[in-house]
Structure 1
């Protein structure tokens, strides 16, 4: 592993703390896609035993951020651009429908949750915190599926979320300013609170990069 891992300002050598450090390093690009995770090197970098590391790594596998290859070890998962573009095409069709079904809840009882997630996106931008921005980004879009009342839509989102997280890790690093991410989602949030499904559909189409929409 070429990059030396270090602890954030608050050090925690528990499995939870080690998981957090590795997860952040994957999402912010410190540990690049396809890179091998060598337990001995990581433990040496972080000054820990391998025990908490061995508890943390399976959690990253469950999230789809790490893959285990028999007889070779663990590697940071890679993004399949074609798969992401296929998901984008489906989302352009299904997400406006999910949003339309969820508008009543998000404009009513669940409005505080939508506003809270927007606060998280803006705060992540202020702190230039890529992992936090990615998490809030996914929570934002997940709201439409979660409150759609449609179990099939919820299941689809759950199956996409992990792979989208990997894509967003690269996507968010491409922004010169994470405030642009927050602003894009603020527009979607404002339209959702107005309940204008046609504007939401148009804004969502602008939200996705052209290459993703056409699978190139």
Structure 2
């Protein structure tokens, strides 16, 4: 069993808390693809019951962060470069549709919410806070899905984003040019939504999703 730096969970919302702690350990690379997660050992380390960890595993499996194999246990899920490319392509199609749909249902409140997220991204870049920055990246896209007002689309895109999200941080440093451009890249996407051209916005969101996946693959391959 590998040693992980996990502090004890707080007594409130235990399953949510434990799920978030394990998810974050996967996202920041402490728990790596293929690692065997032993329920009783994590329960002891987090000072919770086995049932709480088991429920957290169920949620993480639904989100695509872990896989549960009969008679073998729970493992951090992994993706091959080809799988990342495939998921990125699918996400690109969904992001194009989300942008087109969001434009048809656009409101000033949608604009204000996404603009604020871009401002928060600037703050995260200035602070060198990659965890916060990539959380805001996800929040921006979720804001577009919400603006589209399609629960089915939101569910599909959220699941795809969850599967890919841990690879977004992989190999990225706070000082990289990629990180510095993230707020402006999202401002450009927002500008196209505000302009209201569904073709240009759809193309831009598709390119953004596919390009992000390609960048992940390049980092995975070293």
Among candidates 147, 161, 167, match of residue 164 of structure 2: 167
Cα 1:43–1:192 change in 2 (3 A) is same
TM normalised by structure 1 equals 0.75
> Cα distance, 1:19 vs. partner?
1.8
Deviations 1:89-146 (A, max 9, x none): 344455334313312544534222222433454455436242x444432332244444
**Equivalent in the alignment of 2:38:** 38
> Cα distance, 1:159 vs. partner?
2.6
**Equivalent in the alignment of 2:69:** 69
> Cα distance, 1:50 vs. partner?
2.7
The range that moved more, 56-65 or 177-186, is 177-186
> Cα distance, 1:25 vs. partner?
0.6
Deviations 1:193-215 (A, max 9, x none): 233455535644653438739x9
| Distance (Å, rounded) in 2 between the aligned partners of 1:114 and 1:172 | 21
The answer (yes or no) to whether the contact 1:78–1:166 under 8 Å persists in 2 is no
Aligned residues: 209
| Distance (Å, rounded) in 2 between the aligned partners of 1:121 and 1:146 | 19
**Structure 1 residue 193 corresponds to structure 2 residue 212:** no
**Structure 1 residue 141 corresponds to structure 2 residue 141:** yes
Cα 1:121–1:79 change in 2 (3 A) is farther
- Any stretches of 5+ residues in structure 1 without a counterpart? none
**Equivalent in the alignment of 1:88:** 88
TM normalised by structure 2 equals 0.73
The range that moved more, 189-198 or 35-44, is 189-198
> Cα distance, 1:35 vs. partner?
0.9
Report the aligned-residue RMSD.
3.3
| Distance (Å, rounded) in 1 between the aligned partners of 2:202 and 2:115 | 20
| Distance (Å, rounded) in 1 between the aligned partners of 2:154 and 2:28 | 23
The range that moved more, 47-56 or 20-29, is 47-56
| Distance (Å, rounded) in 2 between the aligned partners of 1:84 and 1:56 | 25
**Equivalent in the alignment of 2:183:** 182
Deviations 1:52-73 (A, max 9, x none): 3233222212222121100011
User: What are the within-5 Å matches in structure 2 for residues 97-116 of structure 1?
Assistant: 97-106=97-106, 108-116=108-116
Cα 1:102–1:206 change in 2 (3 A) is closer
- Any stretches of 5+ residues in structure 2 without a counterpart? none
